[in-house]
Amino acid sequence: MQPHQAHLAAIQPVVLVGGKSSRFGRDKLREPMHDGVLVQRPINALRSVFGPRVMLVGDCDPTLLPLADGIIHDRHPGVGPIGGVISALACANSPVFVAAGDMPNIDAATINALLAAFATNPAALALFAGDPAPHPTLAIYRAESLPILRERLARHQRALHSALPADRVVLVQCDPRALANVNTPGDKPL
Amino acid found at 128: F
Query: How far apart are the C-alpha atoms of 14 and 101, rounded to whole Å?
Result: 9
Per the structure, the count of domains in the chain is: 1
Query: How far apart are the C-alpha atoms of 54 and 67, rounded to whole Å?
Result: 9
Annotate 21-38 with DSSP letters as a single string.
Answer: -TTTSS-GGG-EETTEET
Answer whether residue 31 is part of any domain. yes
Answer whether residue 190 is part of any domain. no
pLDDT tens digits in sequence order for the chain, 190 residues long: 454 565 788 999 999 986 554 444 445 565 556 677 678 899 999 999 999 999 999 887 788 888 899 999 999 988 889 999 999 999 999 999 999 988 889 999 999 999 999 999 999 999 999 988 999 999 999 999 999 999 999 999 999 999 999 999 999 999 999 998 766 555 555 5
Q: Residue 14 is part of which domain span? A: 3-158+165-177
Q: CA neighbours within 13 Å on the CB side: how many for 142?
A: 17
Answer whether residue 131 is part of any domain. yes
Answer whether residue 90 is part of any domain. yes
Answer whether residue 13 is part of any domain. yes
| CATH number for the domain that contains residue 46 | 3.90.550.10
Answer whether residue 77 is part of any domain. yes
Amino acid found at 77: P
